């Protein structure tokens, strides 16, 4: 559930960033990057929810929150976009702090809740081939997500 909370906060902040953007040159690539990002984040969260074996009500609630948080963030971003100058020092500082918070939340969740559990699994610890495969796929996934950052 902590992972879900972190992803919800992250999704709202990222949605606000998209909603507050005014230039089509910023919106188009950000929308493409966020679409891929949210897709893979949803797959990861779905896998964790399945492994946790929550009851149906909890699963539906978590899926609903995940589905609604980015659009809510976009609505908030649209609402605040007319109230501030996006190039002012205050707006840049606030955007930087919110973006850093969102990234920090996801990094913490990925390292503590997801990767640690996978890499510390006794089945992985006792199989060096599996360790290599996990490490290579982790680095490949990191590289692909970094490529998305070019357009974000």
CA 22 to CA 65: how far, in whole Å? 26
CA 96 to CA 137: how far, in whole Å? 30
CA 152 to CA 148: how far, in whole Å? 7
- Tell me the per-residue pLDDT of 19-32, one tens digit each, with 9 for 90 and over: 877 777 778 877 88
Q: How many residues does the chain have?
A: 152
Using 50, 70 and 90 to split pLDDT, how confident is the model at 151?
Answer: low
Q: Exposed, middle or buried: residue 20 (CB in 10 Å: 0-12, 13-18, 19+)? A: buried
Contact 96, 35 (CB under 8 A): no
CA 112 to CA 26: how far, in whole Å? 32
Pick from 33-42, 65-74, 116-125: least confident: 33-42
Average pLDDT, the chain: 82
* Alpha carbon separation from 151 to 31, 77, 82, 108, 145 (Å, rounded): 9, 19, 24, 23, 11
At residue 133, the pLDDT reads 94
For 85, the 3-state DSSP assignment is coil
Does pTM surpass 0.75? no
- Tell me the per-residue pLDDT of 65-114, one tens digit each, with 9 for 90 and over: 888 988 998 899 888 887 777 778 887 887 788 778 877 877 887 777 77
């Amino acid at each position: 559930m902590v992972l879900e909370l972190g992803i919800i906060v992250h999704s709202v902040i990222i949605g606000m960033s998209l909603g507050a953007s005014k230039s089509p040159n910023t919106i188009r690539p950000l929308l493409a990057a966020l679409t891929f990002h949210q897709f893979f984040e949803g797959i990861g969260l779905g896998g964790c929810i399945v492994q946790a074996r929550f009851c149906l009500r909890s699963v539906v609630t978590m899926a609903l929150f995940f589905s609604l948080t980015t659009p809510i963030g976009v609505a908030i971003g649209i609402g605040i976009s007319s109230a501030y100058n996006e190039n002012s020092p205050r707006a840049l500082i606030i955007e930087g702090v919110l973006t850093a918070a969102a990234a920090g939340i996801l990094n913490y969740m990925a390292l503590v809740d997801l990767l640690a559990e996978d890499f510390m699994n006794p089945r992985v610890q006792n199989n060096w081939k599996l360790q290599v495969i996990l490490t290579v796929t982790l680095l490949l996934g990191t590289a692909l997500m970094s490529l998305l950052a070019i357009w974000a």
